[in-house]
């Protein structure tokens, strides 16, 4: 690589409080434009903000989960800029004394991405382009945000995406945000610069704003790298500026010159003098944190023997992992994990449904079914069929298991069925002997069809192999 990529990230995350940061308006996503707002969140003269205490607790929980030091004393500030999404022409945020300092996220490569700070602030309204008109929807204005600012420690788009996935999983697990990028409750700004390998000075950076999907983040980083590299190769200079991203073209374009802190004319917010949280409150919040996804992922692999791919899926959403642990109580964890990932995920496919995990088959009902399968009372194929019936009828496993299901197939009967399948599938036998290993599955399939799935597929395979040599 001719140039080293240097990236720092600013991630904005909306907190899942019931009301906004400085007023009692709802934070529910959507709604008719300008129906979730009041004089406070639209900045009407004479209105005064009152800080939502739960915002501070949620922000502190996020900081603790990310290894930050929560400050007992922090200060709200006014950040001034004139734009239609801020009717009062300033945003109440934090500047020189934020709520959380330090922290970091360790990537799979072993490097740690440093977190500079986490501060709380209010979200702005939303610009809506309607043909030639520009309209404002202030429903989002005043929704509580945390802004998570990293050190310039990233060197690739893959590292950025791994970090963002970690943030998303962690903040969802502790219950402070749903992190739905498609709804704007998690979005990020990418600060990117280039320098030649061996150099120590940072290059001039651009900031690409409001990226609201993983694919947009990757595309913006890759485009900015190529754009800046082409400029430098031609002897030009990168200009410090704020840029927007077009998802249709995959390109960034200039929005305005990049502001510095002094451009915003920060000063302490006079209506909210200080934010205080005691050491006892911080420790109370720390004690309330659940097991974090990374720790749970390692435990599932190292202690429960679950495959890495399955462990990753099970720990992505807290509701799924809690369901798995109840469903797997008293049985082999690997069996429970495999059944959920293979059978349940085949029917519960969307990220939204997995986030709000509420299957018709309860964890206790699935546990009963898995116990039947693990004890040998029914085989895996029967368990799969019974699960489908339970999902449709919302009954217990015993309601759908018949005497025929539990009777099984005797060894002699299985031998006879395998002999029949070998005799009737001579081409598959020849193909298998010629090295086509998949042909064996066709012969086993004939046995399973004959027994309507009641035979043990592995036992049938062993019998067939002994017959065809």
> Along the 469 residues of the chain, how does pLDDT read in single tens digits?
589 999 999 999 999 999 999 999 999 998 999 999 999 999 999 999 999 999 999 999 999 999 999 999 999 999 998 888 998 999 999 999 999 999 999 999 999 999 999 999 999 999 888 888 889 999 999 999 999 999 999 999 999 999 999 999 999 999 999 999 988 899 999 999 999 988 889 999 999 998 999 999 999 999 999 999 999 999 999 999 999 999 999 999 998 776 666 778 899 999 998 999 999 999 999 999 999 999 999 999 999 999 999 999 999 999 999 999 999 999 999 999 999 999 999 889 888 888 889 898 999 999 999 988 887 777 787 888 888 888 887 677 777 776 555 556 667 777 888 888 888 888 888 888 887 888 888 888 887 787 777 777 777 788 888 888 6
d(CA 114, CA 110): 13
| Cα 328-329-331 angle, rounded to 5 deg | 70
Token duo for residue 299: 């435990």
CA-closest candidate to residue 212, choices 255, 169, 177, 244: 244
Q: Are strands 100-101 and 76-80 parallel, antiparallel or unpaired?
A: unpaired
Domains of the chain with bracketed CATH: 4-285 (no CATH), 291-407 (no CATH), 411-468 (1.10.10.410)
Judge whether 87 and 125 are in contact, CB under 8 Å: yes
Judge whether 274 and 75 are in contact, CB under 8 Å: yes
Quickly list DSSP for 366-405.
HHHHHHHHHTTSS-HHHHHHHHHHHHHH---GGGT--HHH
d(CA 189, CA 239): 17
DSSP class of residue 305 equals -
Q: Residue 274 in 3-state DSSP?
A: coil
Confirm whether pTM is higher than 0.95.
no
d(CA 462, CA 358): 39
d(CA 294, CA 281): 25
The alpha carbon of 137 is separated from its chain's Cα centroid by a whole number of angstroms, namely 27
């Amino acid at each position: 690589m001719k140039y080293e990529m240097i990236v720092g990230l600013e991630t904005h995350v909306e907190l899942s409080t019931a009301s906004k940061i400085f007023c009692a308006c709802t934070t529910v996503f959507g709604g008719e434009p300008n129906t979730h707002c009041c004089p406070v969140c639209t900045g009407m003269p004479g209105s005064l903000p009152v800080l939502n205490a739960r915002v501070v607790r949620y922000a502190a929980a996020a900081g603790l989960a990310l290894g930050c030091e929560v400050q007992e004393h922090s200060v709200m500030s006014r950040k001034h800029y004139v734009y239609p999404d801020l009717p009062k022409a300033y945003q109440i945020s934090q500047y020189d004394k934020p709520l959380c300092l330090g922290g970091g996220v360790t990537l799979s490569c072993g490097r740690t991405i440093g977190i500079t700070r986490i501060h709380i602030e209010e979200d702005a309204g939303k610009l809506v382009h309607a043909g030639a008109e520009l309209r404002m929807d202030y429903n989002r204005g005043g929704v509580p945000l945390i802004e998570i600012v990293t050190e310039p420690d990233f060197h690739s788009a893959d590292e950025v995406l791994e970090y963002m996935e970690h943030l998303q999983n962690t903040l969802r697990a502790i219950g402070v945000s749903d992190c739905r990028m498609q709804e704007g409750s998690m979005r990020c700004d990418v600060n990117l610069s280039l320098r030649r390998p061996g150099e120590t000075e940072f290059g001039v950076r651009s900031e690409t704003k409001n990226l609201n999907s993983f694919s947009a983040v990757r595309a913006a980083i890759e485009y900015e790298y190529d754009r800046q590299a082409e400029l430098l190769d031609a002897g030009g200079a990168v200009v410090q500026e704020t840029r927007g991203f077009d998802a249709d073209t995959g390109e960034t374009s200039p929005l305005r010159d990049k502001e510095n802190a002094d451009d915003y004319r920060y000063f302490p917010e006079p209506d909210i003098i200080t934010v205080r949280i005691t050491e006892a409150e911080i420790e109370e919040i720390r004690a309330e944190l659940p097991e974090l996804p990374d720790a749970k992922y390692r435990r599932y692999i190292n202690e429960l023997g679950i495959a890495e791919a399955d462990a990753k899926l099970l720990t992505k959403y807290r509701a799924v992992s809690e369901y798995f642990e109840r469903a797997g109580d008293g049985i082999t964890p690997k069996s429970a994990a495999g059944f959920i990932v293979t059978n349940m995920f085949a029917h519960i496919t969307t990220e939204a449904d997995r986030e709000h995990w509420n299957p018709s088959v309860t964890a206790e009902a699935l546990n009963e079914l898995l116990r039947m399968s693990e004890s040998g009372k029914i085989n895996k194929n029967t368990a799969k069929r019974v699960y489908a019936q339970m999902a449709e009828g919302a009954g217990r496993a015993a309601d759908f298991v018949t005497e025929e299901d539990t009777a099984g197939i005797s060894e002699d009967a299985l031998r006879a069925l395998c002999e029949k399948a070998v005799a009737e599938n001579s081409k598959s036998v020849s193909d298998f002997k010629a090295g086509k290993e998949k042909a064996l599955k066709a012969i086993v399939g004939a046995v399973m069809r004959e027994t309507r799935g009641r035979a043990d597929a592995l036992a049938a395979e062993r019998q067939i192999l002994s017959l065809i040599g």
